[in-house]
Each structure stands twice: as C-alpha cells, then as structure tokens.
Amino acid sequence: MSILLVAQRRDMTPVKEALLKADPNLDIEIWPNVSDPKRITFAIAWNHPKDVFKQYPNLRMISSLGAGVDHLINDDSIPESVTITRVVAPTLTSDMSDYVMTAVLNYLRSTHIFYRQQERNEWNMILAKDKKAHTIGIMGLGELGRRTATDLVKIGLNVTGWARTKKEIDGVKTFTGDQLDQFLAATNIVVCLLPLTSKTEDILNLELFKKLKKPAHVISVGRGKHLVEEDLIYALDADIIDSATLDVFREEPLPESHPFWNRKKIVITPHIASVSDPDEVAELLIDNYKRMLSGIQQRHIVDKNREY
Ligand code: NDP
Ligand code: OXD
C-alpha cells in the first residue's frame, strides 16, 4: 500500500521527507510519477488537478495538506466512499492568528503608509487609530477563528465573532448564522475566516460592506472566492470601506495585470497567512493513515454535506 502526494505549484518533496523521517517504512509516491496506481490507498493533496484521483481505484482517504478542503469538495470525480480529512495543526492555527493580528495593527497604526512615505523621504505624522473605537469581527469561529479572536482579546481589542452555531468565547460577543446583520453593524474590521462553501461563496460583497460600522477595513484570509472583487473596488472608490488586507484571491498567483496591485488602499500578501509545516503535519497525517489501516475512526473528517 502506498501514499500519494499530489500538488500543483507546490514542491511535495519536503512533505515526503518529513513523512519518511517520522516513519521510514512508509511507501510514498509523488504524482505524476506513480509506479503502481492500484497500490495507492491514501492521498495527500494541495490544489490537485481535477479528476486526478480517478486513476487510483483503491483510494480510501484523501487529506488536504491544509485546513481548507474546498478543492476536494468541489471535485465531483472523488467517489462518495472516499473519506476526506484535513489538517488541524497548532502552528497553522497560531500563524493565522499572528497574521490577522499583524494586519489589524498595521491598519490601526497605518504602518503600510509609513513604508510608502519612507520610499519618498516623507515625514508625515499619522496618529494611531483609537483601538477602543474599533471592533474586530471574525467571520468563522472554527479552529483558526476562535484562536484569532482569543488572541486579539488578549491585546486589548474589542472582538466579536460570527459562526453558524452558537459559540462561547471569553471576552468575545458572538453571533449565530441568522444574526449576520447585527454582527456587521457592530464591526469595523471584518476578518473572513470561513471555509469556502456554496453558502459562503461571494459573502464579502457590496451589501455586506455597506452594513459594516465605519470606518471599515476588510481582511480576507479564508479563500479568494469569498470576495466579490468588483464590489471591493467599488466600495473602496466610494469610501464605503476604508481599506483592505487580502491574502487569498480568486486566481492565484494574482495575475500581474490585476487591478488590485495598484490600489494604495489594498495590502496584498501571496496566500502566506498560514502554511502547513511539513514536520508538524507529518505526524498528524501518519496517525490518520494508520487509523485508516486499522479501521479506527480518523481525525478531522470533513462533513461532505456541510462542505467543511
Ligand atoms: P473550521 O472548519 O474549523 O471552522 C469554520 C468556521 O466557519 C466554523 O465556526 C463554522 O461554524 C463557520 N461557518 C461555516 N459555514 C458558515 C456559514 N454558512 N455561516 C456562518 N458560519 C459558518 O475551519 P478553520 O478555522 O480550520 O479554517 C477556516 C478556513 O481558513 C479554511 O477553510 C481555509 O479556507 C482558510 N485558511 C486560509 C489560510 C491562509 O493561509 N490564507 C490557511 C489556513 C486556512 P460552526 O462552527 O458553527 O459550524
Ligand atoms: C489552508 C491554506 O487551507 O493554506 O491551509 O489556505
């Protein structure tokens, strides 16, 4: 039995090395160089080519190499019998919290504007925004959102959160699915940490931007398809929102000609908010593989109906 590593635009060699370091007896192949497709029972995938899994008749489980699973849920060619799992790892979680905290503080302290001023030898004082006058609202209070909310509270920020079901988080006022408007009305800095599903696609749109408390800043860090890009541009131009920090995009890498690049009100990072560390995830992936082989319930199984 073999493990298959499949990715586009990502070198899977470090993942293979980490898996072998954790268990030298594993048999691992990196797509597309697979000697015997019938031996593959477990695949680890990141941005896989659609339909690729059709080639492996004995596949029983696929794990996303990251937290998001939209790339797997949206592949109809994966048989219903194949279990989909994802990675929930301490560093992946804390890195996301660090990213969001950095983005929030950058916005409140105008750091990105000072970087641009320095390039022009320009001395222009911009006072820090009053953090007590701002509320950060986290959309999605799962593994990443909950930790992020908790960490933001620890540095003295006002934090709210929105999730499908009720959540109790110390110091965070939480809202449920049907309370989106109340959540938005109390939020200036909205952070999207939702999974991409048929219910959350395009959720960051003009109607949502209009409902935010002003001045508003948008941090989009879940998936690119949460954001309606034209609506963001319109909302920035019309001063409906002040500015945005974007880590994820509908098309990645963001095309060179994309209108976002030249916008001073947008801070862009190349989908690096939080990236799985091979050594950390190797242990988790092997544990789930061995559970599968022994017929024990695997961890972090995705609910295909819920899409996350
Ligand atoms: P989880 O599955 O742990 O949490 C998802 C949260 O979203 C839950 O609180 C869930 O609510 C809520 N949610 C889902 N659908 C809805 C809905 N329709 N309405 C309201 N709330 C909803 O995910 P993670 O926290 O682990 O990850 C979130 C996403 O972050 C990933 O799917 C991925 O896309 C993205 N990500 C981005 C990275 C980057 O580098 N930019 C890195 C890692 C992840 P409930 O709990 O009530 O079900
Ligand atoms: C993930 C990601 O889902 O890196 O883990 O986006």
Contact 134, 109 (CB under 8 A): no
pLDDT for residue 143:
98
Q: Is 223 a catalytic site residue?
A: yes
pLDDT for residue 266:
98
Active-site annotation holder among 86, 134, 146, 223: 223
Q: Establish whether residue 67 lines the binding site of ligand 2, counting it when its CB lies within 6 angstroms of any ligand atom.
A: yes
Nearest atom of ligand 1 to the alpha carbon of 195: 32
Q: Phi then psi for 197, rounded to 5 degrees? A: -135, 175
Q: Residue whose CA is closest, atom 2 of ligand 2? A: 66
Task: Write the DSSP assignment of 133-155 as a string of letters.
Answer: G-EEEEE--SHHHHHHHHHHHHT
Q: Residue whose CA is closest, atom 30 of ligand 1? A: 222
pLDDT for residue 1:
86
Phi/psi class of residue 249: alpha, beta or left (left: φ > 0; alpha: ψ in -120 to 50)?
A: beta
Euclidean distance between CA atoms 150 and 170, whole angstroms: 7
Cα 3 to middle of ligand 2, angstroms: 21
Domains recognised in the chain with CATH numbers? 2-89+276-294 (3.40.50.720), 90-268 (3.40.50.720)
Euclidean distance between CA atoms 109 and 107, whole angstroms: 6
In three state form, how does the secondary structure of 212-267 look?
A: CCCCCEEEECCCHHHECHHHHHHHHHCCCCCEEEECCCCCCCCCCCCHHHHCCCEE
Q: Establish whether residue 68 lines the binding site of ligand 2, counting it when its CB lies within 6 angstroms of any ligand atom.
A: yes
Burial class of residue 87 in the structure, from the number of CB atoms within 10 Å of its CB (0-12 exposed, 13-18 middle, 19+ buried)? buried
pLDDT for residue 111:
97
Q: Establish whether residue 66 lines the binding site of ligand 2, counting it when its CB lies within 6 angstroms of any ligand atom.
A: yes
Q: Establish whether residue 222 lines the binding site of ligand 2, counting it when its CB lies within 6 angstroms of any ligand atom.
A: no
pLDDT for residue 267:
98
- HSE-CB at 107 with a 13 A cutoff on CA atoms is 28
Which alpha helices (H) appear in the chain, and where do they start and end?
13-22, 70-73, 90-109, 111-119, 143-154, 180-185, 206-211, 229-237, 278-294
Contact 271, 248 (CB under 8 A): yes
Find the distance separating the first CA and the last CA of the chain, reported in whole Å: 28
Nearest atom of ligand 1 to the alpha carbon of 308: 2
Euclidean distance between CA atoms 238 and 217, whole angstroms: 14
Burial class of residue 236 in the structure, from the number of CB atoms within 10 Å of its CB (0-12 exposed, 13-18 middle, 19+ buried)? buried
Contact 3, 43 (CB under 8 A): yes
Active-site annotation holder among 271, 291, 299, 300: 271
- Residue 232 carries which side chain, given as an amino acid letter? L
Angle, vertex CA 28, rays to CA 271 and CA 288, nearest 5: 70
Cα 133 to middle of ligand 2, angstroms: 31
Starting at the earlier edge strand, list the strands of the sheet with 266-268.
172-175, 158-162, 135-139, 189-192, 217-220, 243-246, 266-268
Q: Per-residue confidence of the chain (308 residues) as pLDDT tens digits?
A: 899 999 998 999 999 999 999 999 999 999 999 999 999 999 999 999 999 999 999 999 999 999 999 999 999 999 999 999 999 999 999 999 999 999 999 999 999 999 999 999 999 999 999 999 999 999 999 999 999 999 999 999 999 999 999 999 999 999 999 999 999 999 999 999 999 999 999 999 999 999 999 999 999 999 999 999 999 999 999 999 999 999 999 999 999 999 999 999 999 999 999 999 999 999 999 999 999 999 999 999 999 999 99
- Residue 255 carries which side chain, given as an amino acid letter? P
Contact 196, 225 (CB under 8 A): yes
